[in-house]
């Protein structure tokens, strides 16, 4: 009976996932967009990351302690960019994508236009939905986070980060679009580099921000569909023509 119960639960989860994917494809197939169903993950990052700790020390005017016996840090190494975990990994920027896929099992979707379908929006904060997007020869990281910026008032924050340098990020423009019940909401901006830390982008509010009532207005049975389009920036295009 225990074996049957576990198998039956797994089958129900699979049917639910396929149903969510079918609903999204039915809505967006006319636009020729790829749909990626993203399940939520509760953040396991209880301890402050090196990025957050360094930012807090700088804001308080406290410089990190320098010890002569410490090894010299290689400036070309970057810490793990996954916002879900306090991961001690660090490596070169070129291998960040393989680390995210192999260690943290983050899926990657290819295509000029995709639909990010986040399920179970009702779960308590903090919760993250993450996917990688391969487009125009580069990889981007889309992070949707449910977080209480003010106690008792959860908000949703969506941002696109380029897995590359800030100079490379300035060459692109991303657009996030919500479209439901004859309502449309768009956010367009230049992606930030993954080197700038996802937490700081969200805390600064330099992203798409939705309160709970607005998120419910665009959600469908607890799922939120976000259309994603990435293009080269106009400045970059004009420089290429010259």
Domains and CATH numbers, the chain: 29-41+74-231 (2.60.210.10)
pTM > 0.75: yes or no: no
Please give the mean pLDDT across all residues of the chain: 76
Q: Phi then psi for 85, rounded to 5 degrees?
A: -130, 155
CB 103, CB 19: distance < 8 Å: no
Burial (CB < 10 A; 0-12, 13-18, 19+), residue 152, is exposed
Q: How confident is the model at residue 102 (pLDDT cuts 50, 70, 90)?
A: confident
Cα-atom radius of gyration of the chain, to the nearest Å? 19
Beta strand 127-135 with 183-189: parallel, antiparallel or unpaired?
A: unpaired
Among the residues of the chain, which ranges form H helices?
A: 2-28, 50-59, 96-103, 166-169, 198-204, 212-218, 234-241
Q: What is the pLDDT of residues 16-75, one digit of tens each?
A: 445 554 544 444 443 445 778 888 877 655 444 445 444 443 344 433 333 333 344 455
CB 188, CB 207: distance < 8 Å: no
Q: What is the pLDDT of residues 143-193, one digit of tens each?
A: 999 999 878 889 999 999 999 999 999 999 999 999 998 899 999 999 999
Instruction: Provide the token pair at 132.
Output: 């990688």
CB 208, CB 176: distance < 8 Å: yes
Alpha-carbon torsion 10, 222, 118, 144, what sign?
negative
State which H helix or E strand residue 131 sits in: strand 127-135
**CA nearest neighbour of 130 among 164, 107, 163, 112:** 107
């Amino acid at each position: 009976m225990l074996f049957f119960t576990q198998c039956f639960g797994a089958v129900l989860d699979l049917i639910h996932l396929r149903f969510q994917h079918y609903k999204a494809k039915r809505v967006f197939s006319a636009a020729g967009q790829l749909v990626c169903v993203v399940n939520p993950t509760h953040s396991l990052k209880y301890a402050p990351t090196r990025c957050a700790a360094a930012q807090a020390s700088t804001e308080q005017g406290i410089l990190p302690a320098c010890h002569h016996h410490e090894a010299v840090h290689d400036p070309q190494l970057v810490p793990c960019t996954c916002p879900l975990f306090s991961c001690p990994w660090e490596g070169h920027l070129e291998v960040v994508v393989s680390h995210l896929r192999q260690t943290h099992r983050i899926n990657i979707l290819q295509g000029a236009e995709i639909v990010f379908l986040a399920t179970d929006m009702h779960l308590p904060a903090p919760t993250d939905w993450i996917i990688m997007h391969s487009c125009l020869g580069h990889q981007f990281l889309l992070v949707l986070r449910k977080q209480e910026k003010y106690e008792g008032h959860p908000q949703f924050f969506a941002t696109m980060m380029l897995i590359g340098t800030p100079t490379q990020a300035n060459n692109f423009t991303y657009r996030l679009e919500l479209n439901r019940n004859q309502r449309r909401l768009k956010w367009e901006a230049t992606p930030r580099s993954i080197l700038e830390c996802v937490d700081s982008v969200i805390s600064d509010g330099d992203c798409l921000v939705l309160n709970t009532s607005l998120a419910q207005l665009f959600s469908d049975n607890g799922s939120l569909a976000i259309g994603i389009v990435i293009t080269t920036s106009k400045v970059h295009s004009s420089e290429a023509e010259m």
